[in-house]
Amino acid sequence: MSSHIPEWFGVHPPIYDITKSYTENAEEGPFFDGQFPERIIPSKEKWIDFLGHNVMSPLGVPAGPLLNSKYIALAAKLGFDVLTYKTIRSAAHDTHPIPNMIYIDVEGPLPHDAKHVRQTLVQPHDMEHLAVTNSFGMGCYDPTYLLEDIANAKASLADGQVLNVSVVGTQRPGENFVEDFAKTAALAKEAGADVITANFSCPNVGKHTEGSLYMNPEAAKNIASRIVKEIGDVPLIIKMGYLEDQEKLKNVLTAIAKAGARGVCGINTVGRQVVNAQGQPALGPGRETSGICGGPIRTYGLEFVQHARHIIDEENLGLTLLGVGGVVKPEHFGDYLSTGADIAMSATGMMWDPYLAMRWHDRHNT
Protein backbone atom coordinates (compact mmCIF):
# COMPACT_ATOMS: atom_id res chain seq x y z
CA MET A 1 0.00 0.00 0.00
CA SER A 2 1.33 3.41 -0.92
CA SER A 3 2.58 5.49 1.96
CA HIS A 4 1.13 8.68 0.49
CA ILE A 5 -2.36 7.70 1.64
CA PRO A 6 -2.62 8.45 5.35
CA GLU A 7 -3.94 6.04 7.95
CA TRP A 8 -7.36 6.98 9.26
CA PHE A 9 -9.07 4.23 11.26
CA GLY A 10 -7.77 4.26 14.82
CA VAL A 11 -6.07 7.61 14.26
CA HIS A 12 -9.10 9.78 13.44
CA PRO A 13 -12.78 9.43 14.35
CA PRO A 14 -15.33 8.57 11.65
CA ILE A 15 -16.56 11.39 9.42
CA TYR A 16 -20.02 10.92 10.97
CA ASP A 17 -19.96 11.61 14.72
CA ILE A 18 -22.10 8.88 16.31
CA THR A 19 -22.39 10.88 19.54
CA LYS A 20 -24.21 13.70 17.72
CA SER A 21 -27.71 13.83 16.23
CA TYR A 22 -28.44 13.45 12.54
CA THR A 23 -29.16 17.18 12.30
CA GLU A 24 -25.91 18.10 14.03
CA ASN A 25 -23.99 15.86 11.64
CA ALA A 26 -25.79 17.34 8.64
CA GLU A 27 -25.09 20.90 9.73
CA GLU A 28 -21.61 20.53 11.24
CA GLY A 29 -20.17 17.58 9.30
CA PRO A 30 -18.62 15.83 7.60
CA PHE A 31 -15.90 15.61 10.25
CA PHE A 32 -12.87 15.32 8.00
CA ASP A 33 -9.65 17.23 8.54
CA GLY A 34 -7.34 15.11 6.41
CA GLN A 35 -5.44 15.82 3.24
CA PHE A 36 -6.55 14.86 -0.25
CA PRO A 37 -4.06 12.45 -1.84
CA GLU A 38 -3.47 12.85 -5.54
CA ARG A 39 -5.56 10.45 -7.56
CA ILE A 40 -4.28 8.92 -10.76
CA ILE A 41 -7.20 9.30 -13.17
CA PRO A 42 -7.49 6.39 -15.61
CA SER A 43 -7.61 7.26 -19.31
CA LYS A 44 -11.14 7.65 -20.65
CA GLU A 45 -10.78 4.44 -22.65
CA LYS A 46 -10.73 2.64 -19.29
CA TRP A 47 -13.82 4.34 -17.93
CA ILE A 48 -16.89 2.14 -17.62
CA ASP A 49 -20.48 2.56 -18.70
CA PHE A 50 -22.92 2.92 -15.84
CA LEU A 51 -26.51 3.24 -17.04
CA GLY A 52 -25.48 5.47 -19.93
CA HIS A 53 -22.94 7.50 -17.96
CA ASN A 54 -19.18 7.08 -18.31
CA VAL A 55 -17.66 6.75 -14.85
CA MET A 56 -14.01 6.67 -13.84
CA SER A 57 -14.32 3.58 -11.67
CA PRO A 58 -16.85 1.03 -10.40
CA LEU A 59 -16.68 2.36 -6.83
CA GLY A 60 -19.54 4.11 -5.09
CA VAL A 61 -21.34 5.01 -1.89
CA PRO A 62 -24.92 3.79 -1.35
CA ALA A 63 -27.73 5.63 0.41
CA GLY A 64 -26.83 6.41 4.00
CA PRO A 65 -23.52 8.15 4.68
CA LEU A 66 -23.87 11.11 2.30
CA LEU A 67 -26.28 13.36 4.18
CA ASN A 68 -26.08 16.39 1.91
CA SER A 69 -23.98 18.16 -0.71
CA LYS A 70 -21.04 18.62 1.67
CA TYR A 71 -20.76 14.87 2.16
CA ILE A 72 -21.23 14.21 -1.56
CA ALA A 73 -18.45 16.66 -2.42
CA LEU A 74 -16.08 15.05 0.09
CA ALA A 75 -16.70 11.50 -1.12
CA ALA A 76 -16.22 12.61 -4.73
CA LYS A 77 -12.86 14.22 -3.90
CA LEU A 78 -11.83 11.01 -2.16
CA GLY A 79 -12.33 8.79 -5.20
CA PHE A 80 -15.89 7.49 -5.02
CA ASP A 81 -17.52 7.90 -8.44
CA VAL A 82 -21.13 6.74 -8.01
CA LEU A 83 -22.41 9.01 -5.25
CA THR A 84 -25.79 8.43 -3.60
CA TYR A 85 -27.62 11.28 -1.90
CA LYS A 86 -29.24 9.99 1.30
CA THR A 87 -32.85 8.86 0.92
CA ILE A 88 -35.30 11.74 0.48
CA ARG A 89 -39.06 12.02 0.96
CA SER A 90 -41.67 14.30 -0.59
CA ALA A 91 -41.92 16.40 2.59
CA ALA A 92 -39.78 17.12 5.64
CA HIS A 93 -39.57 14.15 7.98
CA ASP A 94 -38.02 13.84 11.45
CA THR A 95 -35.23 11.39 12.15
CA HIS A 96 -35.17 9.05 15.09
CA PRO A 97 -33.63 10.53 18.26
CA ILE A 98 -30.09 9.65 19.26
CA PRO A 99 -28.53 7.18 19.52
CA ASN A 100 -28.62 6.60 15.77
CA MET A 101 -25.46 4.52 15.52
CA ILE A 102 -23.84 2.27 18.11
CA TYR A 103 -21.15 -0.40 18.03
CA ILE A 104 -22.19 -4.03 18.29
CA ASP A 105 -20.27 -7.03 19.52
CA VAL A 106 -19.98 -9.32 16.49
CA GLU A 107 -16.74 -10.83 15.26
CA GLY A 108 -16.91 -12.62 11.95
CA PRO A 109 -20.06 -13.15 9.85
CA LEU A 110 -23.41 -12.36 11.45
CA PRO A 111 -24.99 -15.75 12.30
CA HIS A 112 -28.20 -16.46 10.39
CA ASP A 113 -29.83 -17.87 13.50
CA ALA A 114 -28.90 -14.96 15.78
CA LYS A 115 -32.15 -13.34 16.91
CA HIS A 116 -30.35 -10.54 18.72
CA VAL A 117 -26.89 -9.02 19.03
CA ARG A 118 -25.33 -7.04 21.87
CA GLN A 119 -24.15 -3.48 22.03
CA THR A 120 -20.53 -2.76 22.87
CA LEU A 121 -19.18 0.62 23.93
CA VAL A 122 -15.76 -0.02 22.40
CA GLN A 123 -14.69 0.62 18.81
CA PRO A 124 -13.20 -2.58 17.36
CA HIS A 125 -9.43 -2.79 17.05
CA ASP A 126 -9.39 -3.15 13.27
CA MET A 127 -11.59 -2.40 10.26
CA GLU A 128 -12.21 -6.06 9.51
CA HIS A 129 -14.31 -6.32 12.68
CA LEU A 130 -16.05 -2.96 12.34
CA ALA A 131 -19.66 -3.65 13.28
CA VAL A 132 -22.36 -1.10 14.00
CA THR A 133 -26.10 -0.78 13.90
CA ASN A 134 -27.90 2.26 12.57
CA SER A 135 -31.40 3.59 13.06
CA PHE A 136 -32.19 6.91 11.43
CA GLY A 137 -35.77 6.53 10.25
CA MET A 138 -34.99 8.12 6.87
CA GLY A 139 -35.51 11.70 7.98
CA CYS A 140 -35.03 14.51 5.50
CA TYR A 141 -35.38 18.23 4.89
CA ASP A 142 -38.16 19.97 2.97
CA PRO A 143 -38.32 20.06 -0.86
CA THR A 144 -37.09 23.67 -1.09
CA TYR A 145 -33.87 22.71 0.69
CA LEU A 146 -33.52 19.49 -1.31
CA LEU A 147 -33.88 21.17 -4.70
CA GLU A 148 -31.04 23.55 -3.91
CA ASP A 149 -28.79 21.11 -2.06
CA ILE A 150 -29.07 18.26 -4.57
CA ALA A 151 -28.20 20.73 -7.32
CA ASN A 152 -25.15 21.78 -5.28
CA ALA A 153 -24.21 18.12 -4.84
CA LYS A 154 -24.31 17.53 -8.57
CA ALA A 155 -22.27 20.67 -9.24
CA SER A 156 -19.52 19.35 -6.95
CA LEU A 157 -18.87 16.27 -9.08
CA ALA A 158 -16.08 15.91 -11.59
CA ASP A 159 -16.34 14.51 -15.09
CA GLY A 160 -16.65 10.75 -14.74
CA GLN A 161 -18.80 10.86 -11.62
CA VAL A 162 -22.58 10.52 -11.30
CA LEU A 163 -25.19 11.60 -8.77
CA ASN A 164 -27.63 8.95 -7.64
CA VAL A 165 -30.53 10.13 -5.46
CA SER A 166 -32.31 7.64 -3.20
CA VAL A 167 -36.06 8.12 -2.74
CA VAL A 168 -38.78 6.50 -0.65
CA GLY A 169 -42.55 6.82 -0.46
CA THR A 170 -44.16 7.92 2.79
CA GLN A 171 -47.35 6.51 4.26
CA ARG A 172 -49.61 9.33 5.37
CA PRO A 173 -53.32 9.17 6.26
CA GLY A 174 -55.53 9.94 3.28
CA GLU A 175 -52.64 9.96 0.78
CA ASN A 176 -51.68 7.46 -1.92
CA PHE A 177 -48.41 5.72 -1.08
CA VAL A 178 -47.56 4.82 -4.67
CA GLU A 179 -48.21 8.36 -5.88
CA ASP A 180 -46.04 9.73 -3.10
CA PHE A 181 -43.21 7.47 -4.25
CA ALA A 182 -43.60 8.85 -7.78
CA LYS A 183 -43.82 12.42 -6.48
CA THR A 184 -40.56 11.99 -4.57
CA ALA A 185 -38.84 10.53 -7.63
CA ALA A 186 -40.06 13.52 -9.66
CA LEU A 187 -38.51 15.80 -7.04
CA ALA A 188 -35.17 14.00 -7.39
CA LYS A 189 -35.33 14.33 -11.17
CA GLU A 190 -36.15 18.03 -10.96
CA ALA A 191 -33.20 18.54 -8.62
CA GLY A 192 -30.84 17.06 -11.19
CA ALA A 193 -30.35 13.39 -10.32
CA ASP A 194 -28.44 11.44 -12.97
CA VAL A 195 -29.86 8.20 -11.58
CA ILE A 196 -32.61 7.49 -9.06
CA THR A 197 -32.76 4.63 -6.56
CA ALA A 198 -36.09 3.59 -5.07
CA ASN A 199 -35.51 2.29 -1.56
CA PHE A 200 -37.64 -0.84 -1.23
CA SER A 201 -35.76 -2.02 1.86
CA CYS A 202 -35.24 -0.35 5.20
CA PRO A 203 -35.29 -2.37 8.42
CA ASN A 204 -35.56 0.78 10.57
CA VAL A 205 -39.10 1.88 9.75
CA GLY A 206 -40.97 -0.65 11.87
CA LYS A 207 -43.70 -2.67 10.20
CA HIS A 208 -44.51 -0.09 7.54
CA THR A 209 -44.92 -1.22 3.96
CA GLU A 210 -42.09 1.10 2.86
CA GLY A 211 -39.52 -1.17 4.52
CA SER A 212 -40.39 -4.52 2.96
CA LEU A 213 -41.45 -3.84 -0.63
CA TYR A 214 -38.57 -5.93 -1.98
CA MET A 215 -40.28 -9.04 -0.61
CA ASN A 216 -43.42 -8.51 -2.68
CA PRO A 217 -42.96 -8.93 -6.46
CA GLU A 218 -46.36 -7.48 -7.36
CA ALA A 219 -46.00 -4.39 -5.17
CA ALA A 220 -42.42 -3.89 -6.38
CA LYS A 221 -43.56 -4.09 -10.00
CA ASN A 222 -46.46 -1.67 -9.52
CA ILE A 223 -44.43 0.98 -7.75
CA ALA A 224 -41.44 0.65 -10.07
CA SER A 225 -43.73 0.98 -13.09
CA ARG A 226 -45.27 4.15 -11.69
CA ILE A 227 -41.86 5.66 -10.94
CA VAL A 228 -40.52 4.82 -14.42
CA LYS A 229 -43.55 6.51 -15.95
CA GLU A 230 -42.85 9.59 -13.82
CA ILE A 231 -39.10 9.96 -14.40
CA GLY A 232 -38.89 8.97 -18.05
CA ASP A 233 -35.36 8.51 -19.29
CA VAL A 234 -33.67 8.85 -15.88
CA PRO A 235 -32.51 5.32 -15.00
CA LEU A 236 -34.22 3.68 -12.01
CA ILE A 237 -32.44 1.35 -9.58
CA ILE A 238 -34.28 -0.71 -6.98
CA LYS A 239 -32.64 -1.10 -3.56
CA MET A 240 -33.27 -4.49 -2.00
CA GLY A 241 -32.54 -6.28 1.23
CA TYR A 242 -31.23 -9.77 1.76
CA LEU A 243 -33.41 -12.57 0.40
CA GLU A 244 -32.45 -16.13 1.24
CA ASP A 245 -35.24 -17.54 -0.96
CA GLN A 246 -33.75 -17.62 -4.47
CA GLU A 247 -37.11 -18.24 -6.13
CA LYS A 248 -38.54 -15.11 -4.52
CA LEU A 249 -35.42 -13.19 -5.54
CA LYS A 250 -35.94 -14.36 -9.12
CA ASN A 251 -39.59 -13.27 -9.03
CA VAL A 252 -38.74 -9.83 -7.69
CA LEU A 253 -35.88 -9.22 -10.13
CA THR A 254 -38.07 -10.31 -13.03
CA ALA A 255 -40.89 -8.07 -11.84
CA ILE A 256 -38.78 -4.91 -11.55
CA ALA A 257 -37.09 -5.57 -14.91
CA LYS A 258 -40.51 -5.87 -16.58
CA ALA A 259 -41.51 -2.63 -14.85
CA GLY A 260 -38.65 -0.80 -16.57
CA ALA A 261 -36.10 -0.60 -13.76
CA ARG A 262 -32.56 -0.51 -15.10
CA GLY A 263 -30.65 -1.71 -12.07
CA VAL A 264 -30.79 -3.42 -8.70
CA CYS A 265 -28.75 -2.65 -5.58
CA GLY A 266 -28.31 -5.01 -2.66
CA ILE A 267 -28.11 -5.42 0.13
CA ASN A 268 -29.44 -2.97 2.65
CA THR A 269 -28.54 -3.58 6.26
CA VAL A 270 -29.59 -6.85 7.90
CA GLY A 271 -32.23 -6.35 10.58
CA ARG A 272 -31.67 -7.78 14.06
CA GLN A 273 -32.77 -7.06 17.62
CA VAL A 274 -30.03 -5.10 19.38
CA VAL A 275 -29.80 -5.23 23.18
CA ASN A 276 -27.57 -3.57 25.76
CA ALA A 277 -25.68 -5.25 28.62
CA GLN A 278 -28.92 -5.44 30.62
CA GLY A 279 -30.76 -7.17 27.77
CA GLN A 280 -32.92 -4.11 27.06
CA PRO A 281 -33.39 -2.52 23.59
CA ALA A 282 -30.11 -0.68 23.07
CA LEU A 283 -31.72 2.06 20.98
CA GLY A 284 -34.69 2.47 23.31
CA PRO A 285 -38.30 1.25 23.39
CA GLY A 286 -39.94 1.04 19.97
CA ARG A 287 -36.65 0.46 18.20
CA GLU A 288 -35.99 -3.11 19.20
CA THR A 289 -34.91 -3.99 15.66
CA SER A 290 -32.36 -2.06 13.63
CA GLY A 291 -29.99 -2.58 10.73
CA ILE A 292 -26.65 -4.31 11.24
CA CYS A 293 -23.83 -2.79 9.16
CA GLY A 294 -20.14 -3.36 8.58
CA GLY A 295 -18.00 -6.45 8.25
CA PRO A 296 -20.49 -8.99 9.69
CA ILE A 297 -22.91 -8.63 6.77
CA ARG A 298 -20.40 -9.02 3.92
CA THR A 299 -21.23 -12.70 3.46
CA TYR A 300 -24.91 -11.75 3.07
CA GLY A 301 -24.12 -9.09 0.48
CA LEU A 302 -21.83 -11.34 -1.54
CA GLU A 303 -24.40 -14.12 -1.50
CA PHE A 304 -27.04 -11.69 -2.78
CA VAL A 305 -24.75 -10.54 -5.59
CA GLN A 306 -23.84 -14.10 -6.56
CA HIS A 307 -27.47 -15.18 -6.77
CA ALA A 308 -28.68 -11.97 -8.42
CA ARG A 309 -25.91 -12.16 -11.06
CA HIS A 310 -26.92 -15.70 -11.93
CA ILE A 311 -30.61 -14.80 -12.21
CA ILE A 312 -30.00 -11.64 -14.23
CA ASP A 313 -27.86 -13.54 -16.73
CA GLU A 314 -29.99 -16.69 -16.81
CA GLU A 315 -33.23 -14.76 -17.34
CA ASN A 316 -31.64 -12.14 -19.60
CA LEU A 317 -33.03 -9.33 -17.43
CA GLY A 318 -30.43 -6.74 -18.42
CA LEU A 319 -30.24 -5.23 -14.94
CA THR A 320 -27.11 -3.41 -13.80
CA LEU A 321 -26.04 -4.89 -10.45
CA LEU A 322 -24.75 -2.77 -7.59
CA GLY A 323 -23.28 -4.63 -4.62
CA VAL A 324 -23.00 -3.34 -1.07
CA GLY A 325 -22.63 -4.70 2.43
CA GLY A 326 -19.58 -5.08 4.60
CA VAL A 327 -17.01 -3.37 2.35
CA VAL A 328 -14.62 -2.18 5.05
CA LYS A 329 -11.27 -2.82 3.35
CA PRO A 330 -10.16 -1.95 -0.19
CA GLU A 331 -9.92 -5.59 -1.26
CA HIS A 332 -13.61 -6.04 -0.47
CA PHE A 333 -14.48 -3.91 -3.51
CA GLY A 334 -12.71 -6.55 -5.54
CA ASP A 335 -14.63 -9.33 -3.81
CA TYR A 336 -17.90 -7.79 -4.98
CA LEU A 337 -16.69 -7.09 -8.52
CA SER A 338 -15.33 -10.61 -8.96
CA THR A 339 -18.59 -12.07 -7.62
CA GLY A 340 -20.58 -10.28 -10.30
CA ALA A 341 -21.33 -6.73 -9.21
CA ASP A 342 -21.00 -4.01 -11.85
CA ILE A 343 -20.57 -1.38 -9.12
CA ALA A 344 -19.14 -2.02 -5.64
CA MET A 345 -20.15 0.32 -2.83
CA SER A 346 -19.17 1.08 0.75
CA ALA A 347 -21.22 2.82 3.43
CA THR A 348 -19.97 2.08 6.95
CA GLY A 349 -16.45 1.44 5.65
CA MET A 350 -16.12 4.86 4.05
CA MET A 351 -17.44 6.57 7.19
CA TRP A 352 -14.71 5.00 9.34
CA ASP A 353 -12.04 5.17 6.61
CA PRO A 354 -12.82 7.89 4.05
CA TYR A 355 -9.62 6.92 2.17
CA LEU A 356 -11.04 3.48 1.33
CA ALA A 357 -11.58 4.22 -2.38
CA MET A 358 -8.21 5.94 -2.70
CA ARG A 359 -6.52 2.83 -1.31
CA TRP A 360 -8.25 0.74 -4.00
CA HIS A 361 -7.33 3.20 -6.76
CA ASP A 362 -3.74 3.24 -5.55
CA ARG A 363 -3.52 -0.52 -6.05
CA HIS A 364 -5.29 -0.65 -9.42
CA ASN A 365 -4.09 2.45 -11.25
CA THR A 366 -0.34 2.28 -10.66
Which residues carry out catalysis? 202
CB 60 within 8 A of CB 50: no
CB atoms within 10 A of CB 144: 9
Say whether 24 sits in a helix, a strand or coil: helix
Three-class DSSP labels, 196-262:
EEEECCCCCCCCCHHHCHHHCHHHHHHHHHHHHHHHCCCCEEEEECCCCCHHHHHHHHHHHHHCCCC
User: What's the CA gap between 268 and 332, in Å, rounded?
Assistant: 16
| Nearest 10 degrees: Cα torsion 316, 318, 320, 326 | -20
User: What's the CA gap between 315 and 264, in Å, rounded?
Assistant: 14
- Alpha helices by DSSP H, listed for the chain, are 22-28, 69-77, 143-155, 177-191, 217-231, 246-258, 298-314, 330-339, 348-352, 356-364
